[in-house]
Amino acid sequence: MVNGSLEEWLHPNPAPNDADGHSKKLSLVQRIDISIDVASALDYLHNQCESPIIHCDLKPSNVLVDADMVGHVGDFGLAKIVLESTSDTKANMSSTSLRGTVGYAAPEYANGSQISREGDVYSYGVLLLEMFTGLSPTSDMFRDNLNLHNYVSEAVPQRVVEITDPALLYEGESHNSSQNSLQERDLVVQECLETIYQVGLACSVEEPRERMSIDKVATHLHSIRRKLFASSLLG
């Protein structure tokens, strides 16, 4: 698509400019919008198709961005249709044949567990945390028992600002802004970021049954967007 993939926006090359010379940076609102786009796509695949479709490889490079900065889930090369009402082998297909992607694949898949909606939700949770911290789950900083989920979990709620992509924290500031308006903006943004991180953490917990359903994810994110709109931080 015209604007490439989400991967290119989250982790641009050393010369982070598009063809028109504009810096490749996603605003807070754009990130929220794209996260809603992806959640809505998964909700459709999981809950609104005749038979659930499991993507199995959700990650930034498989989220494409169109000319209007709308996110689209692509690359269904590993996707599986789950025929829940029959004994068809597709319904019981083991994940052992899935390649997935390190850092995004649900941990239970490594043990040969069946593919599931919850597996996609885990990948989405990691993606959501990456979108707002700016950190890839495969970063060199994550080793031993530290991963992106644990890194965010240890910081929320006290150190939300500390773990957030710096580009989001100074967005919208101007020399004409009053101290009170800046403080009000910062408070709203921090509250929204805290909720976003909590959603990401709820999606990426290790136990599949404890993960938030994707329809609830979309509801929470729409609520965050309305909150920003109400506080005049959404143009």
Work out the angle at residue 79's Cα, subtended by the Cα atoms of residues 214 and 147, and round it to the nearest 5 degrees.
Answer: 60
Q: What φ, ψ does residue 53 adopt, rounded to 5°?
A: -115, 125
**Token pair of 143 as six digits:** 């080793």
pLDDT at 94: 46
pLDDT digits (tens, 9 = 90+) for 176-215: 555 666 677 788 889 999 999 999 999 999 999 999 999 9
Give pLDDT, residue 231.
77
pLDDT score at 96:
46
Per the annotation, the verdict on 57 as an active-site residue is yes
**Residue numbers in the chain where pLDDT is lower than 70:** 14-23, 84-99, 170-182, 232-235
Residue 144: per-residue pLDDT: 84
Sign of the four-CA dihedral 219, 220, 222, 227: positive
Catalytic residue among 37, 57, 120, 165: 57
Q: Which of 42, 31, 27, 26 has the alpha carbon at shortest distance from 218?
A: 42
pLDDT digits (tens, 9 = 90+) for 136-158: 999 999 988 899 999 999 999 99
Name all domains of the chain by residue range, CATH numbers in brackets. Answer: 6-12+25-84+93-230 (1.10.510.10)
Vertex 205, ends 199 and 207: CA angle to 5°? 135
Beta bridge partners of 177: none
